[in-house]
Amino acid sequence: MNPELKQLYQELIMDHGRQPRNFHKLSPCTHVQQADNPLCGDQLTLYLDIKNGVVQDIAFQGHGCAISMASTSMMTQAIKGKSVEAALTLFKQFHELIMSGESSENMGRLIVLSGVKAFPMRVKCATLAWHALEHVLSANDGQAITTEY
Amino acid sequence: MVERPHQQPSQQQPSDSQSTVISGRHCLTDEVRHQFPILHQQVHGQPLVYLDNAATTQKPNAVLQALDHYYRCDNANVHRGVHALSERATWAMESARDTIQQFINAASREEVVFVRGTTEGINLVAHGVAESILQPGDEIVISAMEHHSNIVPWQLVCQRTQAVLKVIPILPSGELDLEAYQQLLSERSRLVAISHISNALGTINPVAKIISIAHDHGIPVLVDGAQAVAHTPVDVQALDCDFYVFSGHKVYGPTGIGVLYGKQVWLDRFPPYQGGGEMIRRVSFDHTEFNTLPYKFEAGTPAIAEAVGLGAALQWFSHYRQHSLWEHEATLLYQLQAQLKTLSGVTIIGNAKEKTAVCSFTVAGIHPHDLGTLLDHCGIAVRAGHHCAMPVMDFFNVPATVRASLAIYNTTEDIARLIKGLEQSMEFWQ
């Protein structure tokens, strides 16, 4: 298998893909957001507990490929405890990382997902949960989200 | 038949040497592959193995040359100009209609309507049924095996007319439950719409039997032939189907062109699907007189080059459409399934007795989407996803599958490469 694939499926991604963190229902919580990728059938449900402008807790359930599961899992870890404002900033930075490969300083381990950039057909896998997150944090109307815009 | 203009475009046919060697499998694939330039390329440093034929097939030189010739020599609008090019373009397109008529054995060329593809063909029939037949409480019968294109148009029609959608269930084998089908038919059934071959499972449905049962109740039947035309003989008169729809691009032709076959009695009864040029005979602001069949359903400038390309594709394919081809594809499917079964963790989805050209499967622990990417890097093109058949995925309780689908140019070597690619992918995933 070639180096690009190794770059895509790094150890950390495989680990999160196989054993996603924060993979459970959150009850009670303040927000539930469904996210579907109609092209491949990925379905995620994102649970957020937002109080005082801070994401106190975040979890998810669903099924998807290794990239989408790992991206969602790592997103929940990165977002937990962040202010809504900081979470939105991280969304923008993550989006930039996946689309153009440009990383910001505070990306932390999310940087391992940058390999997705070389696989345009897989970008939606990596960004599905992030779009759902952004939808909750900015629009906040509880509508279902897909990656089709 | 339409009259030929003096300057005829040259029809691309396989040479005699090509058409006489098809009895042997080795010769068939060698000669056929030679005619598909796209197959001879490397993907990610590996020779391409194209196994996504249920999504779309590749195009032989005969089709590429027909498209090229049309645009270089004959391009003009059809049925309008009196000049030479228009005459030639009209002849080329109407000749394609004749080829299609012969290919599916329609009783008349008026029953062959050009559409964009299977989806538009089904929507056209759904529109006609809604406008001229359906009353609130009437029933449309489809199956749980259908592609979304044979589900959603009927849902839309049912919403509009307050008709009811009835669904023939599938069995764990991936076959239709024919007993349930017979019980489903009622006095309110107005149409049965069923796929000839399942795009997700490869099941060949017993459409002749399904049609005969429906006709016993006086119910017309639409057959979605998108997956069938390239993989099984199609004779619409022998089937006695009321409608048969297919796409050109799944039978070695161009995209953007397809065929609706409809019995004249139904097409006469249906109102036009779209209004515009071509479909009219006389227009005033008080009244419009519609054109005769098939033009009543062909509003606007049609996809002329694509129609010509489809004609070329079917003429080309007709030279190979015989027992040895079906046997070749059946042998490859048998080899593929037998070898898949030797790999641990592989589950084949859909094990109908009558099955062709499509093999859906899952591999334990690897999501189909990841497997699709891994195989792509071995130079192997397969489809990963729900194949626009979410109800089928729900029935088998899988979010998605990997689908390897065959065509005339696939070889035993392609199957071996897929199996090797799967082994490498599984090893990588450890």
Which of A1, A9, A69, A124 best tests the B interface by mutation, with the highest count of B CBs <10 A?
A1
pLDDT by position in tens, chain B (length 430): 555 554 444 444 444 444 333 444 456 788 999 999 999 999 999 999 999 999 999 999 999 999 999 999 999 999 877 899 999 999 999 999 999 999 999 999 999 999 999 999 999 999 999 999 999 999 999 999 999 999 999 999 999 999 999 999 999 999 999 999 999 999 999 999 999 999 999 999 999 999 999 999 999 999 999 999 999 999 999 999 999 999 999 999 999 999 999 999 999 999 999 998 888 888 888 888 889 999 999 999 999 999 999 999 999 999 999 888 999 999 999 999 999 999 999 999 999 999 999 999 999 999 999 999 999 999 999 999 988 899 999 999 998 999 999 999 999 999 999 999 999 999 999 8
- Write out pLDDT tens, residues A65-86: 999 999 999 999 999 999 999 9
- Angstrom CA distances, B225 to B173, B222, B243, stand at 21, 9, 10
Q: What pLDDT score does B423 carry? A: 98
Q: Flag whether residue A41 sits within 8 Å of chain B, measured between CB atoms.
A: yes
User: Strand, coil or helix: what is A110?
Assistant: helix
Catalytic status, residue B73 = no
Burial B86-124 (b: 16+ CB within 10 A, else e): bbbbbbbbbbbbebbbebbebeebbbbbbbbbbbbbbbb
- Strands B221-224, B189-195: pairing is parallel
The DSSP line for A18-80 is HS-TT-S--SS-SEEEEEEETTTTEEEEEEEEEETTEEEEEEEEEE--HHHHHHHHHHHHHHT
Q: How many angstroms separate the CA of residue A10 from the nearest CA in chain B?
A: 11
Q: How many angstroms separate the CA of residue A23 from the nearest CA in chain B?
A: 17
Arithmetic mean of pLDDT, A32-45: 88
Is residue A149, in this structure, part of any structural domain at all? no
User: Strand, coil or helix: what is A83?
Assistant: strand
- pTM listed for this prediction: 0.92
Is residue A95, in this structure, part of any structural domain at all? yes
Q: What's A33's domain CATH number? A: 3.90.1010.10
What is the C-alpha separation between B22 and A65, in angstroms, rounded? Answer: 42
Helix (H) or strand (E) holding A17: helix A11-18
Q: What pLDDT score does A37 carry? A: 87
Is residue A144, in this structure, part of any structural domain at all? no
Q: Could you tell me the residue ranges of all domains in chain B?
A: 84-318, 323-429
Q: What pLDDT score does A147 carry? A: 52
Token representation of residue A92: 């923008």
| Phi and psi torsions of B381, nearest 5° | -95, 115
> In total, how many domains does chain A have?
1
Q: Flag whether residue A63 sits within 8 Å of chain B, measured between CB atoms.
A: yes
Is residue A148, in this structure, part of any structural domain at all? no
User: A93: domain range?
Assistant: 3-139
Q: What pLDDT score does A105 carry? A: 81
Provide the CB-side half-sphere exposure for B253 (13 A, CA): 33
Q: Chain A residue with minimal CA distance to B388?
A: A39
- Write out pLDDT tens, residues B179-225: 999 999 999 999 999 999 999 999 999 999 999 999 999 999 999 99
Q: What pLDDT score does B28 carry? A: 74
- Write out pLDDT tens, residues B28-77: 788 999 999 999 999 999 999 999 999 999 999 999 999 999 999 999 99
Q: Flag whether residue B374 sits within 8 Å of chain A, measured between CB atoms.
A: yes
If one looks up domain B323-429 in CATH, what number appears?
A: 3.90.1150.10
With a CB cutoff of 8 Å and minimum separation 6, the contacts of B305 are B67, B70, B71, B75, B254
- B84-318 topology per CATH: Aspartate Aminotransferase; domain 2 (3.40.640)
Q: Which is more confident, A147 or B82?
A: B82
- Write out pLDDT tens, residues A71-126: 999 999 999 999 999 999 999 999 999 998 888 888 899 999 999 998 998 999 99
